[in-house]
Amino acid sequence: MKLATRVTICEVGTRDGFQIEPGFIPTEQKVEVVDRLSATGMPRIEVTSFVSPKAVPQLRDAEEVMARIRRRPGTVYSALVPNDKGAVRAVDARVDEIHTVISASESHNLANVNMSIAESIVKLRAVAEVARRAGVPVSAGISCSFGCPFEGEVPAARLESVVARLVDLGATSIGLADTTGMANPAQVARALERLVPRFPGIQWTLHTHDTRAMAIPNILAALELGVTQFDASIGGLGGCPFAPGASGNVCTEDLIHCLHAMGVETGVDLDALIETSRRVQEIVGRPLPGQIVKAGKWDRRYPLPDGVPARLAALSAR
């Protein structure tokens, strides 16, 4: 495999994960989780979303969370915004970067933000203007890049058209999101082989959900094609409230464990991240999908059963 020596992970659990929890996660616990993630050396954290509290009541404390977190030098603290009003709130809260989202599917876009793709582009143009005036960079994500739960397959030409519109807005960083885990590695590779030469200079990110246990295989396919930025969620939290069947994002500690085992650096302390995942499980009150928390790292060793050490010693003495 042709692998980069280092990749950048953006932790999205405190936004993408907490937004769909049935109960409100107290502000102090959100701040605690962000601070714990910062302490692991996580290079990027999507902390929250500046969206209407009526639409996403679980993130109604966005300003307070941003005000109370401890900002580690070297970590980028971002937030998702749906429109220029949200962008103004995010700028006032001193985010380092604004994330926006639009769908490659008309049906999903209407279900998600109650706008057509064309209407969303108008809103994103206003967001870009707010960000430009404030000197805050913008990263654009495309939901349902590889498939829609309502329409099925998303044609490659339509995905390319949405990317082109975002590039026309001035986007230099674009995330391809497998919102409902419908993608496969060959499909991811085909999309990147089409898009990367067409839009030189774009920084690509892959945002995967593990709905069908394909997240890490899809990431490895993108990694082989030169993508080095990936979103992930602590413990595998998350899902899309407006996409039926969507489950959590790829688990951060599982992904980082995979990358480290292959010699790909992330700058993240995996042991500290595993402890953070255990704490998140306590906060949400249930086991999470992540596997490394359960099984331990690949180099974990167990005591030998009674009698085996003596037999090994006897074999060595022969």
Q: Which residues contact 124 (CB under 8 A, 6 or more apart)?
A: 100, 102, 140, 166, 169
**Alpha carbon separation from 113 to 225, 256, 294 (Å, rounded):** 32, 32, 37
CA angle 176, 57, 212 (to 5 degrees): 35
Burial of 293 (0-12, 13-18, 19+ CB in 10 A): buried
Q: Which residues pair with 296 in a beta bridge?
A: none
Q: Which residues contact 119 (CB under 8 A, 6 or more apart)?
A: none
Residues annotated catalytic, as ranges: 240
The Cα 272–Cα 252 span in angstroms is: 12
- 93 contacts 114 by C-beta, under 8 angstroms: no
The Cα 102–Cα 158 span in angstroms is: 13
Burial letters 24-46, b for 16+ CB under 10 A, else e:
ebeeebbbbbbbbbbbbbbbbbb
Q: Which residues contact 264 (CB under 8 A, 6 or more apart)?
A: 3, 4, 5, 6, 7, 223
Give, as one character, the DSSP assignment of residue 90.
Answer: H
